[in-house]
Amino acid sequence: MENKNRFDFLKNKKIFFIIPIAVAVITIITALIIGVPVDIEFKGGTMLTYSYTGTIDVNAVKSTVEGMNLGTVGVTTGSAFGSDLETVQVSFASEQGLTAEVQVQVTDTLRQQFSENALELVNSQDVKPSAGFSFFLKCFVAVIFSFILLIIYIGLRFKNIGGWSAGAFALVALANDVFMVFATFVFMRLSIDANFMAVILTILGYSINNTIVLYDRVRENRKLYGKKLTIDELVNTSINQSLTRSIKTTVTTAIAVLSMCVVSLICGVESIVSFVFPMFVGLIAGCYSSIFIAGPAWAVWKNAHPDKKKNA
């Protein structure tokens, strides 16, 4: 029997459990104290779209508008649909939105500050938070539904190793991934928007794949070694066997995502940065939870709740 483990994951399981718990607690406390930025689509507000000529500094536009103390401000650039006009969109997240007088004040200030760009207001739109809430609710229902299907799938596929408990701890690992992505938004002061939900849904699918690979190794090793290995030895062996694959897959994907993040920072495309950097953190968290949480936590449970058939 080949059981040469390069690293004893079960020996340090308490440390591996404490780290994500500490991050989650700090994140929640920070969010409660300083709040969490919320994008206009979830909070409501006003979006002003201007056409412009030449080259415009997005950061300078944002600084100018933020100096007017009108709440959370977002600035993005793009092109007007069906024309060659370059546009800059300024969004103000607030429950009431901007009055017509304030909109005129914002427009006059921007025209004066960026007179060389010939700014012209092409669209003014009030956004209600109900649309964003509906989108968030649909995503939440999709996540809950996928969790239920996930538990059923793992419970049936890995029933010979206690699949229902394995499914439960797979969800614990996924919850850690969600908190790590949320922590990224909190500490980097990124607004909760559609990018947040997109990152969450992507990371959940990526992370569960690594966890299922680990459970598959546990199942195969149980068939191969039977009772020759204790639960701790079984899980430890399985993690070491799947470790190289998990790390290589994560590193390859993370490098590609990080490269996109660097290019976006250089080009000043903030909307892409708010997606790819949390994605990078989520990939690392997904690899961590699959290796250091899902397997060791399941082993702790199985040791505390041995199979009834075995006791009989």
Structure tokens at 132: 């964003």
Residue 226, both tokens: 């039977």
Distance CA 221, CA 159 (A): 14
User: Strand ranges (DSSP E) for the chain?
Assistant: 45-52, 72-79, 86-93, 120-127
Of 189, 203, 175, the C-alpha closest to 274 is: 189
The confidence score (pLDDT) of residue 74 equals 79
Q: Quick one: pLDDT at residue 33? A: 92
Helix axes 13-34, 295-304, angle to 10 degrees: 110
- C-alpha 127 chain-centroid distance: 25
pLDDT of residue 311: 45
CA 12 – CA 2 distance, rounded (Å): 22
pLDDT (0 to 100) of residue 267: 74
CA distance to 168, 190, 196, 307, per residue, from 178 (Å): 15, 15, 10, 31
Q: Which of 166, 157, 158, 149 is nearest to 305 (CA)?
A: 166
Q: Which two tokens stand for residue 124?
A: 């003014």
Q: What is the pLDDT of residue 1?
A: 45
For the chain of 312 residues, list the mean pLDDT of each consecutive stretch of 10: 65 91 93 84 81 84 84 75 75 77 88 86 79 76 84 84 84 90 90 84 84 90 85 90 89 90 78 86 92 91 72 42
Which stretch of DSSP H or E encloses residue 209?
A: helix 194-225
pLDDT reported for residue 2:
47
C-alpha–C-alpha distance, residues 295 and 312, integer Å: 26
Nearest to 121 by CA among 58, 68, 53, 51: 51
pTM of the model: 0.79
Alpha carbon distance 269, 261 (integer Å) = 9
**Rounded-to-integer distance, Cα 44 and Cα 38, Å:** 9
Strand partners, 59: none
Place of tokens 């940065």: 273
Q: Please state, as a whole number, how many other Cβ atoms lie within 10 Å of the Cβ of residue 87.
A: 20
Domain boundary assignment for the chain: 13-38+131-311, 45-127
CA atoms of 281 and 254, how far apart (whole Å) = 9
Angle at 306 between CA 305 and CA 310, to 5 degrees: 155
CATH (one of 3.30.70.3400, 3.40.50.2000, 3.30.420.40, 3.30.70.20) for 45-127: 3.30.70.3400
Name the fold adopted by 13-38+131-311: Multidrug efflux transporter AcrB transmembrane fold (1.20.1640)
CB 171 within 8 A of CB 147: yes
Judge contact between 63 and 25, C-beta under 8 A: no
